[in-house]
C-alpha cells in the first residue's frame, strides 16, 4: 500500500480552512478518485516538537492506494479540478510525498 501525503507548510501569514477542507475538498477528492482510493485521513497541526513551538505544517491530507500506478491513473484525469480547489482553503503551497506504508 502507498500513502500520498499532501502537506501544507506553516509560515507567516499562511492560513488553512479546516472546515472547508474536511467538508468540501476531501469528499470531492474521494468522489473523483473513486474505488482506487482505499481510505483518507486528515491531520491538523497542533504544535512542533519542542514545547511552545508552532506546528511545521498547518494540516496534511493522506490518500491511500494499492500502488503508485493506481494513484496516478485515478488522479491524472482530475488533477486540474483537485489542484484548482486549493486556493479555496489555503494560501500555503502544498508539498507532496508518496511513500510505501510498511506497518
Q: Which residue has the cell 499532501?
A: 6
- The mean per-residue pLDDT over the stretch 86-98 comes to 98
Give the per-residue pLDDT at 68. 98
pLDDT band at 50 (very low <50, low <70, confident <90, very high): very high
Q: What domains appear along the chain, each with residue ranges and CATH number?
A: 18-56+71-103 (3.30.70.100)
* pLDDT(47) > 90: yes
Verdict on whether the full-model pTM lies above 0.85? yes
Give the contacts of 42 (CB within 8 A, at least 6 positions apart). Answer: 18, 21, 22, 26, 59, 60, 61, 62
Amino acid at each position: 500500500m502507498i500513502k500520498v501525503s499532501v502537506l501544507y507548510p506553516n509560515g507567516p501569514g499562511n492560513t488553512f480552512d479546516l472546515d472547508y477542507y474536511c467538508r468540501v475538498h476531501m469528499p470531492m477528492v474521494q468522489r473523483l478518485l473513486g474505488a482506487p482510493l482505499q481510505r483518507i485521513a486528515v491531520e491538523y497541526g497542533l504544535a512542533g516538537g519542542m514545547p511552545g513551538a508552532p506546528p511545521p505544517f498547518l494540516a496534511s491530507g493522506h490518500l491511500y492506494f494499492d500502488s503508485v500506478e493506481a494513484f496516478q491513473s485515478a488522479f491524472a484525469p482530475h488533477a486540474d479540478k483537485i489542484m484548482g480547489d486549493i486556493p479555496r482553503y489555503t494560501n500555503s503551497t502544498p508539498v507532496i510525498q508518496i511513500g510505501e506504508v510498511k506497518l
